[in-house]
Amino acid sequence: MEIVIAIVIGILVTIGTYLLLSRQLLRIVFGSSLISHAVNLLIITSGGLKKGNAPLLGEGKIGFTDALPQALILTAIVINFAVTAFVLVLSYRSFKANGTDDMEKLRGNEHE
Amino acid sequence: MNNLLIMPVIIPLIVGMVLIIFHKNIVLQRALSLFALFLSGFIAFVMMNQVREKGIQTLQLGGWEAPFGISFVGDMFSVLLVLTTCIVSSCCLIFAFRSIGEKNEKLYFYPLFLFLIVGVNGSFLTGDLFNLYVFFEVFLLASYVLITLGGGKKQLRESLKYVFINIVSSAFFLIGVAYLYSITGTLNLAHLSFRIAEAGQDGLITTIALLFLIVFSLKAGLLLFFWLPGSYSVPPTAIAAIFAALLTKVGIYSIFRMFTLVFYHEPQITHLMIGILAAVTMLLGAAGATGYMDVRKILTYNVVISVGFIVAGLVTMTEAGITGSIYYLIHDMIIKALVFLIGGTIILITGTSDLREMSGLIRRHPQLGWIFFIGTLSMVGIPPLSGFLGKVFITQGTFETGYYWLGGIGLLASIFILLSMIKLFMNAFWGETILSEDEEKGSIRGLLFPIALLLVVSLALGIGAEGIQAYIAQATEQLLNPSLYIEAVLK
């Protein structure tokens, strides 16, 4: 199972990197979002994808799943959500102000 | 257990949230935010003396014992940085009262400023790797908004690059966290250090160490500083000053923490790598600082040089080197805020950032000119100013351990700092006075006070070095003996 997820993560990162390197702002936003999703998958895989019982004491069972990575990605997803929302607004404002969404034209020069 | 540790994080957070409600009431916002910073600074001062007497202080949040809960750890190094953060940010805030403009003040400037301080203080005090990531995101999000405050064309353009670079580096941070967790099974820094010392730092862990080095280098501007000159020159002066003083320093702090506490077993790979990065950073920064004729560019490249120089002390891992780095780090936080505030004031007076179009400011603004001159001497390291001791100790450390090339490049970089800053001083302050009183673009009324305050702090740090020597020596001892940190957290 871990290997399948690892391949999925690889594909997500590949697509994300391709999108990040493109010129259009919206594609870059999607690219960064995809990479963040890939990282979240990586975190959940890092704890091992075993089928186990809920990590609750008093149930008297053994073979708990690791609860920590789930807590970690919960936090990471929330942060990623906030950042993506902010970046979308920022891109829109930048498009309005600068009149272009082409990163080549947003390079900026020395004297202005 | 020491509940004071959480205060420098919680006070600005609560005040910041309250101020969102009262965003129209400027007087209240100013008073409350300054009060929050003073109170945090006072608590940091109390903590500093507690650490001095009783050793490293810890707080296990929610009563969950380490390594299961999130620990806050105040060793001397972090407490000193928190105290400096509060002092520097108070000065920048006072500067902002007069310079940021009423429109921005109503656009949530003060809450955002306080959230930035929350993130920075939290990063210094946390003892948990994932919590460090969270605090990084807190101050990054605040900085994303602050950098665009005002919404100028240039600001929006540069902030896009800043945001995307930081998103990618945050992703790398999380990848590092995931790998480290899958190998060691813990994220508490003290526990990590303990487990890695027990199992040995093998090739995999060293690779992860280098991954973390990339992440923190991006934040600190160590070699990967390509984003820094652009994004630090667009925001309003008070914000640029607080960025230059604090944000890169959090990256430097993280490099110090990780490579003295956790990844210190393979210095011939990791620390040599850091040394090479530091040397290249200093050389490139020197080239940038001397090459440009633009006030903001010169100052931002000086930030880059000092990053390389501070980290050079870490490479040695000796008492002298680390002592020097701590001295220089504190000095640099104060002095970078100082010169950025002065640079912004110059731009305010002349209305341009091009050195060729300004001249002779010293006739009308003698105080500003001489404060800048003293700041320059301090950056170069003329005794008895505050930059001197740091330079001496870092150079001594590099020479003791045989890194002659690193120490030599550090000294060479000092000459370029002098060259670039004197170029700025000569062009802006000397020469014929071309602006009469009416032609000046802005008034500097009320702006000199925070600048003078920073100068006094910087002078006190240099002349009163004897007095804080004991504190810095303790910080060095705690950084060089990870067992002290581990015992304090896991006892």
Instruction: Give the per-residue pLDDT at B443.
Output: 77
> Do A72 and B157 make contact, defined as CB atoms within 8 angstroms?
no
pLDDT in the model for residue B437: 72
Question: Residue B134: which of A68, A75, A108 has the nearest Cβ?
Answer: A75
What is the distance in angstroms between the Cα of A77 and the nearest Cα belonging to chain B?
A: 11
Q: Does A15 touch chain B (CB under 8 A)?
A: no
For residue B471, CA distances in Å to B44, B360, B462, B478 come to: 13, 42, 14, 11
Give the confidence band of A68 by pLDDT, cuts at 50, 70, 90. Answer: confident
Identify the band that residue A15 occupies on the pLDDT scale cut at 50, 70 and 90. very high
CA–CA dist B174, B180 (Å, integer) = 10
pLDDT score of B331: 96
pLDDT of residue B67: 86
Cα-Cα-Cα-Cα torsion B160, B161, B164, B165, nearest 10 degrees, comes to -150
**Is B144 in contact with A20 (Cβ distance < 8 A)?**
no
State whether residue A72 sits within 8 Å of chain B by CB: yes
Q: Which domains does chain A have, with CATH numbers?
A: 2-50+68-97 (1.10.287)
Q: Read off the pLDDT of residues B377-407 as tens digits, 9 standing for 90 and up.
A: 999 999 889 999 999 999 999 999 999 999 9
pLDDT above 80 (res A14): yes
Residue A109: predicted pLDDT: 63
Confidence tier at A65 by pLDDT (50, 70, 90): confident
pLDDT number for residue B152: 85
Q: Considering CB atoms only, which of A43, A91, A108 is closest to B178?
A: A43
Cα dihedral B244, B250, B252, B255, rounded to 10, equals -160
Would you call B151 and A69 a contact, using CB atoms and an 8 Å cutoff? no
Closest partner CB to B164 (pick from A28, A39, A47): A28
How does pLDDT run across B119-142, given as a tens digit for each residue? 999 999 999 999 999 999 999 999
In this structure, are residues B429 and B360 in contact, taking their beta carbons and an 8 Å threshold? Answer: yes
Q: Are residues B413 and B380 in contact, defined by beta-carbon separation less than 8 angstroms?
A: no
B148·A79 Cβ contact <8 A = no
Chain A residues with CB-CB distance to B181 below 8 A = 43, 46-47, 68-69, 72
SS (H, E, C) A52-103: CECCCCCCCCCCECCCHHHHHHHHHHHHHHHHHHHHHHHHHHHHHHHCCCEH
CA distances from B328 to B250, B392, B398 (A): 14, 10, 15
Joined together, the tokens standing for residue A33 give 């979002």
Q: What does pLDDT average to over chain A?
A: 88
B332-376 tens-digit pLDDT? 999 999 999 999 999 999 888 888 888 888 888 999 999 999 999
Is the Cβ pair A87, B167 closer than 8 Å?
A: yes
Closest partner residue to B156 among A82, A83, A97, by Cβ?
A97
Suggest the residue from B132, B174, B231 to mutate for an interface test with chain A (most A CBs closer than 10 A): B174
Q: Is A5 on the interface with B (CB under 8 A)?
A: no
- pLDDT score for B1: 80
Phi, psi of A102 (to 5 degrees): -95, 115
More confident of the two residues B230 and A55: B230
Tokens of B286: 């020197």
What local confidence, expressed as pLDDT, does residue A50 receive?
74
**Residue A66, pLDDT score:** 81
Among B122, B100, B120, smallest CA distance to B109 is for: B100
State the smallest CA–CA distance between residue B410 and chain A in angstroms.
29
CA angle B73, B74, B77 (to 5 degrees): 125
Decide if A106 and B159 are in contact by the 8 Å CB cutoff: no
User: Residue B418: which residues within 8 A CB-CB, separation 6 or more?
Assistant: B376, B380
- For residue A104, give both structure tokens: 């080549």
Q: What ipTM was estimated for this complex?
A: 0.94
Contact (CB<8Å) A39/B178: yes
* B291-339 pLDDT per residue, tens: 999 999 999 999 999 999 999 999 999 999 999 999 999 999 999 999 9
Q: What's the rounded Cα separation, in Å, for the pair B367 and B348? A: 16
> Among partner residues A35, A39, A46, which is closest to B182 by beta-carbon distance?
A46
Domain ranges of chain B: 3-490
Residues of chain B with pLDDT under 50: none
Residues B443, A71: Cα–Cα separation, whole Å: 52
